[in-house]
Structure 1
Amino acid sequence: MGRLVEGELQQVLRLQVTLYACRERLLAATDPEALHDLRIALRKLRSLLQPLRGLPACAALQQQAAELGRSSGPLRDLEVLIAHLQSQGQDMRDAVNLRQPRLLTGYAALLAGAALPALFGALDQWPQLWRQAAADAELRGLANRVRRRLAKQQRRLAEALVDPAHDRHRLRLLIKRVRYGAGAYPKLSGLSAKTLARLKAAQSALGDWHDRLQWLQRAEQDADLTVCVDTWRMALQAAEETADLALLALQEDFTSTG
């Protein structure tokens, strides 16, 4: 197999080991970072697979990775909210205590659900499928395929950055895809260290904005969060301003190449 083909195989196998370890940490129920680390490994796996979309060898693994991402996302959002409430001290202790059982129930549901076993089943089957695809010459021109897909992601981001009616939600997703794609394929992305730093800054600011927006929406349903609304509104505005500056900086990188 070629270097890229073999490298892809080794990266997925390493991520499989990491995902198994994260599952065991979740089962132990003593590690508050277990779900976060599981989703990081899952994100890296999906970033490796995304430019390979359309290859039959990757279809099942892509599907199962996406499903686990969807099913674990709301649980991670609850984790982030609880961590924020804990950082506010004794004033929010009751709010934390109210939500902590929901989090534990969510962990149990994730572990008992179908998404994790389905992903591990797909991971077990994938190496044989990948090697067979290589043997059948289905992976010829893999580097060019990946390079084209990454370039397409970057063009989409460039177009969105100059759209006067840009949607922050969409920009956040596009930035994540471009940044994580570059992380998965650093030699094929063509992005400089400066651009990667700007992507990270924009993603961070948009992430802060997204969290506060979600929490404000949740406060409309949860009366015990009303006390936080004014603070979250101010934080939302500050995150919007920070994000807008970061997006302007990104335009310098992507509009010249988009």
Structure 2
Amino acid sequence: MSPKTHHEPSSSTHGDEPSRDGKQTAAAFLAAAMRPLLDTVRDTTARVIASDAANREAEDAPPEPSQETAADAASDGHATHDAEEAHAAKDHTAKDHTAKDHAAKDHAAKDHAAEHDTWKSQTSGDHAAKDPPSSGHPASDESASTRAPSLDPEAVHDLRVALRKLRTLLRPARRVFGRKRLQPIEEALRRDARATSALRDEEALRETIDRLNLPRAARAQATLWIEHRAALERTQRAEVIRRLEGTTPHGDADASRKKNKKKKQKKAKHLPLEVHLHALTRRLDRPERKRLGARKLAQRAVEEALDKVQALSGAYTADAIAMHELRIRFKRLRYTADAFAPVLGPAAKQVASSAAKLQKRLGHLHDVDEALDRVWNARDLDPGARAALHEALTAERAHLAEKVALDLDKELPTIVAAITPPTNDEAPSDAT
């Protein structure tokens, strides 16, 4: 990759100081890239926690009367008032109209009997067949009420992306700020990312099954099964909030803590996310452990990410575990190239674009693999629906696997060509 033809470093902060040869240092680049991400993580964390508080408040609130109930209540009020007035009027005219009232009642009774006979003939015939059973209707009020309120999906997505970008930059940052100093921060971010992944998995399961072409009966059973998983989603939602707030219960860990070192390690795992973000902010403000150029660090980081991809690119697409790991490696390559694009130039953008395509394709394949696993182990799912789901998911997986193989053949050579360093004759004279 060729560097930018011009770079004008900023000197407004400690982290943006240039190196002695006028090039931006790795520490300056990392600090400038990480600080906005830290702000994004803080902002999205607050949004996620706020959405959970709103959900819990909504769940605890008494149910509001429906429009029909309110209309009925208003109708009853008006009816009572009208009845009182009518009763007063009847006292004056009751004797004159008694005979007419009896005749009107007899006529109304005959009309009502005729309407009832007509309704019975309709409901016993074609009309009854048109109404599907409520248990298989996806939009029924009963099934809709079982769905768990979800956290703000945009906030969760933004938090996951910011955590991934931050973790991606922390890997090469080990050379600058020290592996041991960054390790607790990396572990905390990894735990929080995994907690949010559980929420994404449930969302992906719904989306994957919604895309399948299923028989009507299997679709109804699959919809009910997804809705019955609402309790699991509530549990995962609570776990995410505990992770972010640092209130994950310790359990019986206190009984086994015999040394102060172990106590500190256990305690560190349950610290709020903000504590680790603050520690990273302080680390960015300190001088780097090794003085490296930003371009040298960037080139090495992208090449190492590519090496990880190539080591697994020959795996069989039928291997679900390998494809999942390959997706993670492409994601890391994508974010690494994108983060260092200001240093490495347009070629890094091309790498990020190609890696994103493969990551997305492999992501769809992973969603199907996860759905297959959950359906296969779903003993509470109707056997006929489980068989139909398994058949449809297997066919979908075979289709996606073919696309993955084609995309790898197309995009991977492009990535390799963009990352491969130029020869001595082609190397730019101002490379760091």
Say if 2:153 is the partner of 1:32: yes
Once the two structures are TM-superposed, the CA of residue 182 in structure 1 deviates from its matched residue by 0.7
Among 87, 91, 107, which residue is 2:237 paired with?
107
Say if 2:398 is the partner of 1:237: yes
> For 1:195 and 1:145, how far apart are their aligned partners in 2?
17
> For 1:11 and 1:116, how far apart are their aligned partners in 2?
27
| Counterpart residue number, 1:246 | 407
Aligned length: 254
The percent of aligned pairs where both chains have the same amino acid is 22
> For 1:181 and 1:119, how far apart are their aligned partners in 2?
23
Moved more, 84-93 or 238-247: 84-93
Among 363, 370, 380, which residue is 1:214 paired with?
370
Once the two structures are TM-superposed, the CA of residue 255 in structure 1 deviates from its matched residue by 5.0
Pair 26,193 (structure 1): closer, same or farther in 2 beyond 3 Å:
closer
Once the two structures are TM-superposed, the CA of residue 22 in structure 1 deviates from its matched residue by 2.1
Contact in 1 for aligned 2:45/2:159 (Cα 8 Å): yes
Contact in 1 for aligned 2:302/2:336 (Cα 8 Å): yes
> For 2:408 and 2:174, how far apart are their aligned partners in 1?
28
Contact in 2 for aligned 1:51/1:149 (Cα 8 Å): yes
Normalised TM-score (structure 2): 0.53
AA at the equivalent of 1:36: H
> For 2:171 and 2:332, how far apart are their aligned partners in 1?
9
Once the two structures are TM-superposed, the CA of residue 248 in structure 1 deviates from its matched residue by 0.4
Pair 168,97 (structure 1): closer, same or farther in 2 beyond 3 Å:
closer
What do residues 188-230 of structure 1 show as CA deviations (whole Å, max 9, x unaligned)? 4563544433222211111111110111011111142614222
| Counterpart residue number, 1:203 | 359
Q: Name the structure, 1 or 2, with higher relative contact order (CA <8 Å, separation 6+).
A: 2
| Counterpart residue number, 2:55 | none
Q: Return 5+ residue gaps in structure 2 as ranges.
A: 1-14, 18-23, 53-150, 247-268, 422-432
Contact in 2 for aligned 1:198/1:246 (Cα 8 Å): no
> For 1:164 and 1:99, how far apart are their aligned partners in 2?
33
Q: Return 5+ residue gaps in structure 1 as ranges.
A: none
Say if 2:170 is the partner of 1:49: yes
| Counterpart residue number, 1:17 | 39
Normalised TM-score (structure 1): 0.84
Pair 158,255 (structure 1): closer, same or farther in 2 beyond 3 Å:
farther
> For 1:129 and 1:193, how far apart are their aligned partners in 2?
29
| Counterpart residue number, 2:205 | 81
AA at the equivalent of 1:76: R
> For 1:20 and 1:74, how far apart are their aligned partners in 2?
20
**Larger helix proportion, structure 1 or 2?**
1
Once the two structures are TM-superposed, the CA of residue 169 in structure 1 deviates from its matched residue by 3.0
